[in-house]
Structure 1
Amino acid sequence: MRVVVADDAVLLREGLVRLLAEEGHEVLAAVGDGPALVEAVLRHRPDVSVVDVRMPPTHTDEGLRAAITARAQLPGAPVLVLSQYVEAGYAAELVADGAGAVGYLLKDRVARVAEFLDALARVADGGTVLDPQVIAQLLAGQRREGALGALTARERELLALMAEGHSNTEIARRMVLSASAVEKHIGSIFAKLGLPPDDTQHRRVLAVLAHLRA
Structure 2
Amino acid sequence: MRVVIAEDAVLLRAGVQRLLADEGIDTAAAVDNGDDLLEAIQKHSPDLAIVDVRMPPTFTDEGLRAALRARELISGLPVLVLSQYVEETYAVELLSAGAGGVGYLLKERVADVAEFLDAVRRVAGGGTAIDPEVIAQLMARGKKNPLDALTSRESEVLGLMAQGLSNTAIAGTLVVSHGAVEKHIGNIFAKLGLEASSEEHRRVRAVLTYLGR
Kindly indicate whether the alpha-carbon contact (under 8 Å) linking 2:56 and 2:62 is maintained by their aligned counterparts in 1. yes
* Deviation, structure 1 residue 19: 1.2
Q: What CA distance in whole angstroms lies between the structure 1 residues aligned with 2:103 and 2:39?
A: 20
* Deviation, structure 1 residue 99: 2.8
Q: Does 1:146 align with 2:178?
A: no
Q: What CA distance in whole angstroms lies between the structure 2 residues aligned with 1:10 and 1:49?
A: 17
Count of residues in correspondence between the two structures: 147
Find the residue that maps to 1:146 and give its secondary structure: coil
The residue that corresponds to 2:185 in the other structure is none
Residues 45-96 of structure 1 deviation map (CA, whole Å, 9 limit, x = unaligned): 1111110000000000101111111110111101100000122323201112
Q: Does 1:3 align with 2:3?
A: yes
Q: Does 1:30 align with 2:53?
A: no
Q: What CA distance in whole angstroms lies between the structure 2 residues aligned with 1:127 and 1:91?
A: 16
Q: What CA distance in whole angstroms lies between the structure 2 residues aligned with 1:108 and 1:137?
A: 16
Identity of aligned residues (%): 64
Find the residue that maps to 2:100 and give its secondary structure: coil
In the superposition, the TM-score normalised over structure 1's length comes to 0.66
* Deviation, structure 1 residue 146: 2.7
The residue that corresponds to 1:20 in the other structure is 20
The residue that corresponds to 2:110 in the other structure is 110
Structure 2: segments with no counterpart, 5+ residues? 146-212
Find the residue that maps to 2:16 and give its secondary structure: helix
Find the residue that maps to 2:110 and give its secondary structure: helix
Residue identity matched to 1:130:
I
* Deviation, structure 1 residue 104: 0.3
1:39-78 to 2 correspondences below 5 Å: 39-78=39-78
In the superposition, the TM-score normalised over structure 2's length comes to 0.66
User: What CA RMSD, in Å, does the superposition of the two structures yield over aligned residues?
Assistant: 1.8
Q: What CA distance in whole angstroms lies between the structure 2 residues aligned with 1:122 and 1:32?
A: 24
The residue that corresponds to 1:91 in the other structure is 91
Q: Which has the higher contact order (CA 8 A, sep 6+)?
A: 2
The residue that corresponds to 1:186 in the other structure is none
Structure 1: segments with no counterpart, 5+ residues? 148-213
Find the residue that maps to 1:50 and give its secondary structure: strand
Runs of 4+ off more than 3 Å = none
